[in-house]
Amino acid sequence: MLIGFFLKISYVTDYDATNILNWSGLGYYMAKSLADQNAEVDFVGNLKIRRTLPLLIKKAFYTSIGQDFHFYGLPILPVSWLARFKPA
């Protein structure tokens, strides 16, 4: 471990990562592991996915051809969440 090394981390999820019952505890244990390494973890959770018209059309298309479409796997999500926060 590095002496004098301190890390501040914002742990951003669309669920409550402090609840061990979410995602079989994966988010909880990942954050706990970071905190065990002397990192200050700031939890930002329960962020909602904005379902825009293009995404709803895409979901309707995939549903019409018999495939699943899940909003939470989209690469645009972290970018849209980042836009909600301003640097301190």
- pTM comes to 0.58
Over residues 6-64, the pLDDT tens digits come to 788 888 887 888 889 988 888 899 888 988 888 888 888 777 777 788 888 988 999 99
Query: Taking the alpha carbons of 80, 85, 86, 88 in that order, is the dihedral positive or negative?
Result: negative
Over its C-alpha atoms, the chain yields an Rg (Å, rounded) of 17
- CA 27 centroid distance within chain: 9
**Helix H or strand E encompassing 30:** helix 26-36
Mean pLDDT of 68-88: 69
The CA angle 16-41-27, to the nearest 5 degrees, is: 40
For 15-25, how does the pLDDT look when each residue is reduced to its tens digit (9 = 90+)?
888 889 988 88
CB 12 within 8 A of CB 81: yes
